Amino acid sequence: MTVEPVKDYFEVAVSAPVNRALTYLPPDNCEKLLRQGIRVLVPLGGRKITGYILDKVDSAPVGQQIKKIYEVLDSEPLFPAEQVSFYRWIANYYHYPIGEIIRAALPAGLTKKSGRRIIITETGRKQLLELSDKAITGASWFSDLLKKGEIGPHTAGSLWRMKERRLLELWQEKGWLTISGEIVGGTAKAKTETCCALTENIAYPENLKVSEQKTIAALQKIASATDSRFVPRREVTREYPGAGKALKSLARRNIVIFREQQVYRDPFGESFLQSDIPETLTAEQKRALDSILPALQKARFASFLLHGVTGSGKTEVYLQAAAHGLEQGRSVLVLVPEIALATQLEAHFMARFGSRVALLHSGLSSGQRFDQWCRIAQGMADVVIGARSAVFAPLKNPGLIIVDEEHDSSYKQDEGFRYNARDLAVLRASRSAAVVILGSATPSVVSYYHAKEGKYNLLYMGKRIEERPLPDVEVVDMQSIKTVSGSPPVFSPVLIKYLRENLQRGEQSLIFLNRRGYANFMLCRDCGQTAQCRHCQVSLTLHRSENKLLCHYCGYTVSSKSVCASCQSMSLTAIGVGTERLEHELQELLPGARIARLDRDTCRKRTDYIRILRAVHKGEIDILLGTQMITKGHHFPNVTLVGIVLADTGLGLPDFRAGERTFQLISQVTGRAGRGERPGRVIIQTFQPGHYSIEMARSHNYSGMYAREIEMRKTLSYPPFSRLANIKVEGKDKAYVQEAAISLANMAQKFRKGQEPEILGPAPAPLMRLRDYYRWQILIKGKKLETLHAFLHRLEGEIAPLGKAGKVRITIDVDPEYMM
Ligand code: ADP
Ligand code: ZN
Ligand code: ZN
């Protein structure tokens, strides 16, 4: 009887829609290279596909032919081993393929491989110059090594797969070489710069030219000032203009050596703020920190919900907690809503922690993003600020995770791999024995409920800094305003009056409307139809400056001069207002006022955004108007008036969170007023003045809103009293989609145990057609998390065959945010 030798297998998460990790054998002689977090190329169904090593296992599934990994793509892991179990948990919870999750987590530019950089040492140079083995000294890599002082990742990678590897490792042991890991991107490449240094232990020849002497002096000066031996060539030639040529001749004589060094592209641009540590904390800030700091000290999981009204100084609490976390030798992760980047928070962190800060968000070029990822992975940055996807940042040993504006719905990724970064932040903290702080002036109802139930520690800061009052709020009922034409005006007389007064006093105003474009939609006066998107079941919005009608969902445009699609009439009228029209009307009402607009049309790039914000800070703008972009986290001390043009835009949506969101939005906008020395005033224009969301926002009554919401959710059994999953069935064939949705719902009914979970639908989605896809949904509501997920796992098995024909796409949205 023969005994099978014990084999090592590897569990690989492939980046393909496969529900579980697969098992592979290591490639010949490369087993040592395989570690958790390394990418590999593996065979799958006749293709080569990227995968990520999750673990080493000692057995394989029986009855299957186990294939070999083709190639190892990295020498350094792309994420720390401790993150593997985090990804496993996520895959299980969101019912999404683990390999696809990891691919989504890694920065987009990072598609190629990581490699090595081999650098010669001083002793190495002396020793290797004396080498006489022709087989080695004749090789081009060897002469490159001597000439440039290093071998880059490309050549190093190929040497590593050949017999030279032994030799190089031997030389490394002798101290002749240093070998460092480096990640090399596909599209995103590390940016390098030629740097130079004086060689050591070499007596300078006597007959140096003057230019050479000056060059050496310049080099030494910069080196000692910057405390680094290798200095950029650029800087030497700047210091001494004749240096270029002299450096070359010095290199020929082995007095100077060159090498390419990675430089980091500065993603921050200019920041426009100072951050001084305040002399004294407010009593409330102190109380909050007195709870948080001891928790950090213990290095155990603890969670806080910091409910602090707008202007209460939450940022300072974050900053001091972060400083404390760093002192404990732990890293710090700060999540902010995408839109809020480039605001005060980021500037404060950079001012306090300088080059330890890395920034991750979609405004970065893929090169910048890649650089930032490397700095984090290599431990060069231990404070990370980023939007949603930064929750996956490869930080080692995070001790503090902060989620600012935790109620913000941009934490939810609503396409592809649907996750909620706030929830994952709490999870990551609990798995890293870290402290998590969720901060907001208007916490989400669900988080607040958890805090009340004791799952989070609730910290409250109810006063503004320096006891500044919250602004006075007036609600204007637009229904009651009569005009000659019969249709209500855009601006109420009272808002116009205050805008004028503010202008005269030289104070700034903010005008908010949650709708971009010129008009809401185009109505045909002859047949009563509105202009619709050809691909979606939505109206087109007029963008007048560009003369087009635009679909805000899919980007489809037609000329604004179009005729009615149903009756060919030419009399299309623009109905409703958007920010573009507000700007026009304001210019007519208040000629001479300096007006700026902040929305997705005026701010395509982050630099536009910063330019406008800076102008407001400098007092170059009298009135800033815009969409949600003006609501997030800004601190404009001179803003004393805020006008909300149409407060009820979101109230009519078929979504159980509509009331909560409206309250949050109004409160956030309201909170921009009166943050400086002068008190603020807010005007809310609405057609539903009696709605509790508006009433509670007017009176700054968070707990009033919470009480109403929690009551409603309890009655209807919505979160936090249940867990939801939305199963979406989408496809181009209308009838097929409907049939698939019905048969899936029937299946779901069969899997149900008694009353659990509740199944609502199937029903057409509120936006029944989007980007040419017909959409149906089935809402699953479970009282218990475990039974809901067990149910979903069973149902998953049925979903795959339904989707097989390629005619429908079925996705599970766990904890959905939007029901549209
Ligand atoms: P929030 O995020 O709670 O809305 P901020 O953190 O933006 O409020 O703080 C509002 C302002 O108060 C900022 O300009 C901040 O620098 C300042 N500030 C914070 N703490 C203090 C303090 N203890 N003393 C004086 N000013 C403070
Ligand atoms: Zn018509
Ligand atoms: Zn569309």
- Give the tens place of pLDDT for each residue, 357-375: 888 877 777 777 877 887 8
- Contact present, 133 and 103 (Cβ < 8 Å): no
Q: Which residues surround ligand 2, an ion (CB under 5 A)?
A: 524, 526-527, 564, 566-567, 569
In which band, very low, low, confident or very high, does the pLDDT at 1 lie, cut at 50, 70 and 90?
very low
| Mean predicted lDDT score pLDDT of the chain | 86
- Give the tens place of pLDDT for each residue, 58-68: 888 887 788 99
Nearest CA to ligand 1 atom 19: 313
DSSP state of 609: H
Please choose, from the candidates 312, 313, 352, 314, the residue with its C-alpha nearest in 3D space to the C-alpha of residue 332.
Answer: 352
In which band, very low, low, confident or very high, does the pLDDT at 340 lie, cut at 50, 70 and 90?
low
C-alpha–C-alpha distance, residues 637 and 113, integer Å: 48
Query: Of all residues in the chain, what percent carry a pLDDT higher than 70?
Result: 93
Protein residues whose CB sits closer than 6 Å to any atom of ligand 1: 278, 280-282, 285, 308, 310-316, 344, 465, 635
- Give the tens place of pLDDT for each residue, 615-641: 888 899 999 999 888 877 577 888 899
C-alpha–C-alpha distance, residues 512 and 515, integer Å: 9
Nearest CA to ligand 1 atom 2: 314
Query: Of all residues in the chain, what percent carry a pLDDT higher than 90?
Result: 36
Nearest CA to ligand 1 atom 15: 313
Please choose, from the candidates 55, 29, 112, 119, the residue with its C-alpha nearest in 3D space to the C-alpha of residue 78.
Answer: 112
Q: CA dist 613 to 276, 314, 593, 608, 673, Å? A: 20, 21, 17, 9, 16
**Closest listed ligand to the CA of 767:** 3
Q: Which atom of ligand 1 is nearest to the CA of 461?
A: 3
Nearest CA to ligand 1 atom 17: 313
Q: What is the mean pLDDT of residues 403-429?
A: 93
Does the structure show a pLDDT above 80 at 87?
Answer: yes
| Count of residues in the chain | 820
How confident is the model at residue 322, as a pLDDT? 97
pTM attached to this predicted model = 0.80
Q: How far is the CA of 521 from the centre of ligand 3 (A)?
A: 13
- Contact present, 359 and 371 (Cβ < 8 Å): no
Q: How far is the CA of 338 from the centre of ligand 1 (A)?
A: 21
Q: Which atom of ligand 1 is nearest to the CA of 308?
A: 3
Q: How far is the CA of 193 from the centre of ligand 2 (A)?
A: 63
In which band, very low, low, confident or very high, does the pLDDT at 755 lie, cut at 50, 70 and 90?
confident
Interior CA angle at 703 toward 698 and 706, to 5°?
Answer: 100
Q: How far is the CA of 707 from the centre of ligand 1 (A)?
A: 29
Q: How far is the CA of 539 from the centre of ligand 2 (A)?
A: 14
Does the structure show a pLDDT above 50 at 113?
Answer: no
Interior CA angle at 153 toward 220 and 82, to 5°?
Answer: 100
C-alpha–C-alpha distance, residues 56 and 36, integer Å: 8
Q: What is the mean pLDDT of residues 207-229?
A: 84
Please choose, from the candidates 403, 306, 385, the residue with its C-alpha nearest in 3D space to the C-alpha of residue 342.
Answer: 385
Pairing of strands 357-360, 383-386: parallel
Q: Which two tokens stand for residue 505?
A: 């006093």
Nearest CA to ligand 1 atom 20: 313
- Give the tens place of pLDDT for each residue, 8-44: 899 999 988 887 889 999 887 777 778 898 888 888 8
**Closest listed ligand to the CA of 772:** 3
Please provide residue 436's backbone torsions phi and psi, each rounded to the nearest 5 degrees: -120, 135
C-alpha–C-alpha distance, residues 115 and 371, integer Å: 15
Q: Please, how many CA atoms are within 13 Å of residue 225, restricted to the half-sphere of its CB?
A: 11
**Closest listed ligand to the CA of 552:** 3
C-alpha–C-alpha distance, residues 581 and 560, integer Å: 15
Nearest CA to ligand 1 atom 9: 313
Q: Which atom of ligand 1 is nearest to the CA of 309?
A: 3
C-alpha–C-alpha distance, residues 491 and 475, integer Å: 13
In which band, very low, low, confident or very high, does the pLDDT at 595 lie, cut at 50, 70 and 90?
very high
Does the structure show a pLDDT above 60 at 520?
Answer: yes
Q: How far is the CA of 664 from the centre of ligand 3 (A)?
A: 28
Nearest CA to ligand 1 atom 5: 313
In which band, very low, low, confident or very high, does the pLDDT at 306 lie, cut at 50, 70 and 90?
very high
Q: How far is the CA of 128 from the centre of ligand 2 (A)?
A: 85
Which of 316, 402, 617 most suits a substitution to test ligand 1, by most atoms within 8 Å of the C-beta?
316
Q: How far is the CA of 541 from the centre of ligand 3 (A)?
A: 10
How confident is the model at residue 796, as a pLDDT? 84
- Give the tens place of pLDDT for each residue, 443-463: 999 999 999 999 999 999 999
Q: How far is the CA of 282 from the centre of ligand 1 (A)?
A: 10
Q: How far is the CA of 506 from the centre of ligand 1 (A)?
A: 24
Q: What is the mean pLDDT of residues 687-710?
A: 93
C-alpha–C-alpha distance, residues 751 and 757, integer Å: 9
Q: How far is the CA of 344 from the centre of ligand 1 (A)?
A: 10
Q: Which atom of ligand 1 is nearest to the CA of 282?
A: 23
C-alpha–C-alpha distance, residues 11 and 36, integer Å: 9
Interior CA angle at 643 toward 684 and 342, to 5°?
Answer: 125
Q: How far is the CA of 311 from the centre of ligand 1 (A)?
A: 6
Q: Which atom of ligand 1 is nearest to the CA of 315?
A: 6
Q: Which residues surround ligand 3, an ion (CB under 5 A)?
A: 533, 535-536, 551, 553-554, 556
- Contact present, 71 and 104 (Cβ < 8 Å): no
Does the structure show a pLDDT above 60 at 125?
Answer: yes
Which of 334, 635, 675, 702 most suits a substitution to test ligand 1, by most atoms within 8 Å of the C-beta?
635
Sheet with 113-120: list strands edge to edge.
150-151, 113-120, 177-184
3-state secondary structure (DSSP) of residue 654: coil
Pairing of strands 22-24, 9-14: antiparallel
Q: CA dist 777 to 312, 361, 751, 785, 793, Å? A: 42, 32, 18, 20, 18
Which of 315, 407, 438 most suits a substitution to test ligand 1, by most atoms within 8 Å of the C-beta?
315
- Give the tens place of pLDDT for each residue, 136-188: 888 888 988 888 888 887 788 778 777 788 888 889 888 898 877 665 544 45
Which of 274, 336, 463, 465 most suits a substitution to test ligand 1, by most atoms within 8 Å of the C-beta?
465
Q: Which atom of ligand 1 is nearest to the CA of 404?
A: 2
Where helices occur in 467-552 by DSSP H, the ranges are: 493-505
Q: How far is the CA of 523 from the centre of ligand 2 (A)?
A: 8
In which band, very low, low, confident or very high, does the pLDDT at 4 lie, cut at 50, 70 and 90?
low
| Phi-psi group of 23: left, alpha or beta (phi > 0 → left; psi -120 to 50 → alpha; rest → beta) | beta
Does the structure show a pLDDT above 60 at 341?
Answer: no
Does the structure show a pLDDT above 60 at 69?
Answer: yes
Q: Which two tokens stand for residue 136?
A: 């080695």
Q: What is the mean pLDDT of residues 497-509?
A: 93
Sign of CA dihedral 740, 742, 747, 752: positive
Q: What is the mean pLDDT of residues 311-330?
A: 94
- Contact present, 364 and 267 (Cβ < 8 Å): yes
